[in-house]
Amino acid sequence: MTLITWNCQGAFRNKYPSIFAHHPDILVIQESEHTNKLTYTSNPPTQSLWYGDNPHKGISIHTFGTYTIKPHKSHKPDLKYIIPLTVTGEGQTFILLAIWANNAQDKGRYIEQVWKAIHYYEKILKQPIILTGDFNSNTIWDKPRREGNHTTVVQKLANKQIHSNYHQQYQQEQGKEAHPTFYLQRNKEKPYHIDYCFASQSFCERLSSIQVGEYDEWIGLSDHMPLILVF
């Protein structure tokens, strides 16, 4: 199973061939326009869902081949950009939390939204589950008095035996990542790691590769690099 998350920085209709070329089974796209604005010249997704207020900028989830998705019954619309889905395919069923943590002042800023979501969805934080997307956060920005900083989110997930695939695979510490997933203003001198895939132990044990997109290949399309995982 190939899982990809990517903040496309808009205009996904013009950019999808570049990410489809990596043959995802499950694709989570942040800052995507509504799927009714997308047309495909070849290899269309089996299924697509979109969530958001602005038809030009929301979060979309796509499946390919035999994989299918449906909204989980616990979905809380107020957490509009953190979407629980039931994924089925290739003889397996699991929960996917598709994430785009943005600056929604009424719902908390960035990582606060993830913190609220993992508390609200605590009952489904069990094997097997994947949480992936643009968290817009990193331990380097921790504010100790903020409700749910990055470190506390990582710790709470670890308590559920849910871990960052990147950090396990590359044996990296949170906040000391060697592979940026985001370049502020597309500037190579302003790199940050803010996109993640956290998975339950059963998926961690099945991970065969994880790749962060290279700057030179992707910066012409977005300020974010895709995270490509093969289980």
C-alpha dihedral (25, 36, 72, 168), degrees to nearest 10: 40
Q: Using omega within 30 degrees of 0 as the cis cutoff, is the peptide bond preceding 128 cis?
A: yes
What is the pLDDT at residue 106? 58
**Other residues' Cβ atoms within 10 Å of the Cβ of residue 183:** 19
56, HSE (Cβ side, Cα atoms, 13 Å): 3
> Going from the N-terminus, what domains does the chain have, and what CATH number goes with each?
2-230 (3.60.10.10)
Whole-prediction pTM: 0.96
Q: Is the pLDDT of residue 212 over 80?
A: yes
Per-residue pLDDT band at 47 (split at 50, 70, 90): very high
Q: How far, in Å, CA of 146 to CA of 216, rounded?
A: 36
Q: What is the DSSP string of 164-178?
A: EHHHHHHT--TT--S
User: Mapping DSSP to helix (H, G, I), strand (E, B) and coil, where does residue 3 land?
Assistant: strand
Average pLDDT over residues 225-231: 98
Q: How far apart are CA 89 and CA 46, in angstroms?
A: 12
Contacts of 215 (CB under 8 A, 6+ apart): 180, 183, 188, 225
Confidence at residue 126, expressed as pLDDT on a 0 to 100 scale: 87
Which residues, other chains included, contact 57 with Cβ-Cβ below 8 Å and sequence gap of 6+? 10, 31, 32, 33
Predicted pLDDT of residue 148: 86
Question: What pLDDT, on a 0 to 100 scale, did the predictor assign at position 105?
Answer: 52
At 103 the pLDDT is 77
Residue 107 pLDDT: 57
Digit-coded pLDDT (tens) for 115-156? 999 999 999 998 899 999 999 999 999 987 776 899 999 999
The tens digit of pLDDT for each residue in 56-98 reads 999 999 999 999 999 999 999 989 899 999 999 999 999 999 9
Amino acid at 189: E
pLDDT in tens, 151-201: 999 999 999 999 999 999 999 999 999 999 999 999 999 999 999 999 999
Sign of the Cα torsion 54, 56, 58, 63 reads: positive
pLDDT-derived band at 30 (thresholds 50, 70, 90) equals very high
